[in-house]
A and B are shown apart, each in its own frame.
Chain A
């Protein structure tokens, strides 16, 4: 076991995969000489050389396209978005090129790529350095979406994402990068967290909280506070958003009969809407209360602290919603 930050867990996963498989390479802005804006690729250029660690021009389309084209030719590309917000530039590459390639090749040409980068708010990043638009890719066939909350999951999921044969969009919450520390297995264990499997981070009996990313930590904090009030939360960390682990969710719902879905993205049309719909379709008779959602307000993530706080969900929001549900 190694005690590392969330960021270091991701760095080590990529490092070890590049050591293991010469087909893996990484491309992005400032990832070589500088080691990445957040230092996730520190030391990579020196170890793996410029052919496998590509300092790209400011060209998100080309960055993703190089990973995609190389994947079609048998490689495994990791494309770093300096901030995941910038993936909008490369949207066509993810959705129309990578996402469809297997389909339009009659199943012959898989596109094993990982498009990854820092996401999320709570750091004063403002409009273009704070977004959580995972719902874009949740809505996209052919693409998988991952967002871990703890170092061990970040480590195991990154390895799984690199080895997966499909395009994976990997959200790394920048708020967690250095704030969250935890143990990860040693390299020799070849630890993998399979994509598509949720994990219950806290067991409880009254309310099922379905969440992912930084909100897992908020939910756990809320659960601690509510415990004193005699309200018991079960916190499910989805880890992989697509494919969605409905089995784990439904099992918990059948136990608690109340559901709170927490996500950091704008509420409307978010991942939580789909989860809510599926629970209603598949476990309606088990519910004792309306499914509730805590999410960001339908706005951008603003810069000034009072504005950002107002828009993004808080631990308080989760506590209030859970109380309401508990009393229902």
Chain B
């Protein structure tokens, strides 16, 4: 029984015998400033989520869903912190802060959420369906497994350019590991030893469907065996464990050894989206939600920092007020940004800039 099962929620130990663990404590090499930055990023993610739920509740955000990531912040922060600027990511709907960690401005992200003319998609698509190849942010779609296969192409382009050391971190959910493209993508990546790190955010539910109805193996990481690649099953609510495992995976991938699968076991504390809050407390046991509230990655990391003796209580405000302000500023910017002109709906369907003479 792995922790990925609802029945074993009380234990975070049993899963460890299944997935691999990294023995190296990469985080011990981090400076105090890094440790603080990780703390601040966790809070950025938390406040981002809360601010959007609040905006939706108050009617300031009138269109589209808010896909919460409360409780999953350690994954967003721990997997991105060790990346090089030239690495790639393909975030999904529960990774909105990743867009900012990888170079987009909070304003761009908020404009996207509000569907504004100056959003990365110019109001064409919603939420996480955006990207910026110049920042190494690969656009994903609603079909989550699909991007795992697309990632292989992005990495193949690097191979053609002689840049085999650029890694792509592709995020997906445990539910999407049941899709065909997840398999075809990982299979292809493993055959050709592409530097792909697949981060499975196992938050235990695909909308309402529990993981045991999505995945037959004891852990999601077990799927890695089918591709002959390392599969880690780790505590996704421990930002340092996520960080350490990502560091190990990066070393493996950069060295030309092929892909790595990291299953980050976590929990979706909210509904699938903001419209799902009531039902999400019906199709899941309330005790389960309460249990995972106690495993909140933010206080856990704060406790760790205090224990190191490097930080005083005052240095670790909950939340850091400047981040609250920063996110609010971005929201106000988005709200005051112009809506797209209706006729632009027909732009960017085809690109005729190159023509046939290119």
**Interfacial residues, chain A to chain B (CB-CB below 8 A):** 22-23, 25, 51-52, 54, 56-57, 59, 61-62, 65-75, 77, 89, 92-93, 96-97, 100-110, 112, 141-142, 144, 159-160, 163-166, 192, 194-195
B124 adjacent to A66 (CB under 8 Å): no
CA distance A22 to B159 in the complex (A): 13
Given A69-B155, A102-B348, A107-B347, A57 contacting B188 (CB threshold 8 A): yes
The chain B residue sitting closest to A25, CB to CB, is B160
Q: Are A70 and B157 in contact (CB under 8 A)?
A: yes
Given A65-B181, A165-B351, 12 more A-B residue pairs with CB atoms under 8 Å apart are: A25-B156, A62-B152, A62-B184, A62-B188, A65-B152, A69-B157, A70-B154, A77-B153, A104-B124, A104-B129, A107-B122, A108-B132
Q: Which residues of A contact B133 (CB under 8 A)?
A: 72-73, 105, 108-109
Knowing A93-B149, A105-B121, A165-B352, the reply to whether A73 touches B158 (Cβ < 8 A) is yes
**Chain A to chain B: the 8 pairs with minimum beta-carbon distance, closest first:** A69-B153, A65-B149, A73-B157, A62-B184, A107-B348, A110-B351, A59-B184, A69-B150
**Bound CA span A70–B184, Å:** 16
Chain B residues near A142 (CB-CB < 8 A): 349-350
Given known A-B contacts A62-B149, A165-B354, A69 and B184 have beta carbons under 8 A apart: no
Q: Cα distance A102–B160 when bound, in Å?
A: 23
Min C-beta distance of B149 to chain A, whole Å: 3
**Contact A61-B153, Cβ < 8 Å, known A102-B350, A107-B348, A164-B354:** no
Question: Does B79 make an interface contact (CB < 8 A)?
Answer: no
Identify which of B141, B150, B188 contacts A59 (C-beta below 8 A).
B188
Query: Which B residues form the contact surface with A (CB < 8 A)?
Result: 119-122, 124-125, 129-133, 138-139, 141-143, 146, 149-160, 180-181, 184-185, 187-188, 191, 347-358
Does B146 contact A195, Cβ atoms closer than 8 Å?
Answer: no
Is B139 in contact with A101, judged by CB distance below 8 angstroms?
Answer: yes
Chain B residues closer than 8 Å to A52, beta-carbon distance: 160
Q: With the chains together, A100 CA to B157 CA distance in Å? A: 20
Give Cα A309–Cα B122 distance, bound, in whole angstroms: 51
Evaluate contact between A61 and B180: CB separation under 8 angstroms. Answer: yes
Residue of B nearest to A98 (CB): B150
Would A57 and B131 be within 8 Å (CB), given that A93-B146, A164-B354 are in contact?
no
Closest to A24 in B: B160
Tell me whether B139 and A105 are in contact (CB under 8 A): yes
Kindly state the separation between the CA atoms of A194 and B356 in the bound complex, as whole angstroms.
7
Residue from B124, B143, B352 in contact with A103 in the complex, judged by beta carbons closer than 8 Å: B124
> Are the CB atoms of A69 and B151 closer together than 8 Å?
yes
A66–B146 CA distance with the chains assembled, in angstroms: 11
Contact of A192 among B143, B157, B181, B356 (CB under 8 A): B356
For A110, the chain B residues whose CB sits under 8 A away are 351, 353-354
Are B146 and A97 interface neighbours, CB within 8 A?
yes
Q: Nearest CB to that of A194 among chain B residues?
A: B356
Complex formed: what's the CA distance from A23 to B154 in Å?
13
Which residues of chain B are within 8 angstroms of A25 by Cβ–Cβ distance? 156, 160
Asked whether, in the complex, the Cβ of B139 is within 8 Å of the Cβ of A163, the reply is no
Interchain CB contact under 8 A, B354 and A69: no
Closest residue on chain B to residue A59 by CB atoms = B184
CA distance A253 to B338 in the complex (A): 46
A194 to B355, CA, bound (A): 9
Could you tell me if B139 and A69 are in contact, using CB atoms closer than 8 angstroms? no
A69 touches B152 (CB 8 A): yes
* Inter-chain contacts of B158 with A (CB < 8 A): 73
Chain B residue at minimum C-beta to C-beta distance from A60: B184
Report chain A residues within 8 Å CB of B122. Answer: 106-107
CA distance A62 to B147 in the complex (A): 10
Question: Which residues does chain A contribute within 8 Å of B141, judged by CB atoms?
Answer: 96-97, 100
Contact with B348, one of A54, A73, A106 (Cβ below 8 angstroms):
A106
A219 to chain B, nearest CB (A): 27
Contact A107 B149 (CB under 8 A): no
Shortest Cβ gap from B126 to chain A (Å):
9
Residue of B nearest to A144 (CB): B350
Find out whether the CB atom of B138 lies under 8 angstroms from the CB atom of A72.
yes
Closest beta carbon of chain A to B218's beta carbon, Å: 26
Which B-chain residue is minimally distant from A109 (CB atoms)? B133
CB distance from B133 to the nearest CB of A (A): 6
By a CB distance below 8 angstroms, the chain B residues around A56 are: 188
Most chain-A Cβ atoms within 10 A of its Cβ — which of B131, B133, B151, B351?
A: B351
Residues of B within 8 A of A165 (CB): 351-354, 358
Minimum C-beta distance from B220 to chain A (A): 20
Q: Is the CB of A166 within 8 A of B150?
A: no
Contact present for B356 and A195 (CB under 8 Å): yes
Q: Are A51 and B159 in contact (CB under 8 A)?
A: yes
Q: How far is the CA of A193 from the CA of B159 in the complex (A)?
A: 32
Assembled-state Cα–Cα distance A109/B121 (Å): 11
Q: Which partner residue on chain A sits nearest B353 by CB separation? A: A165
Contact call B120/A65, Cβ cutoff below 8 A: no
Check if A104 sits within 8 Å of B130, measured CB to CB. yes
Cα of A328 to Cα of B149 in the assembled complex, Å: 55
Q: How far is A72 from B122 in the complex, measured between Cα atoms in Å?
A: 18
> A241 to B208, alpha carbons, bound, how many Å?
43
User: Is B149 a contact of A105 with CB atoms below 8 Å?
Assistant: no
Q: Quote the shortest CB–CB distance from B268 to chain A (angstroms).
A: 24
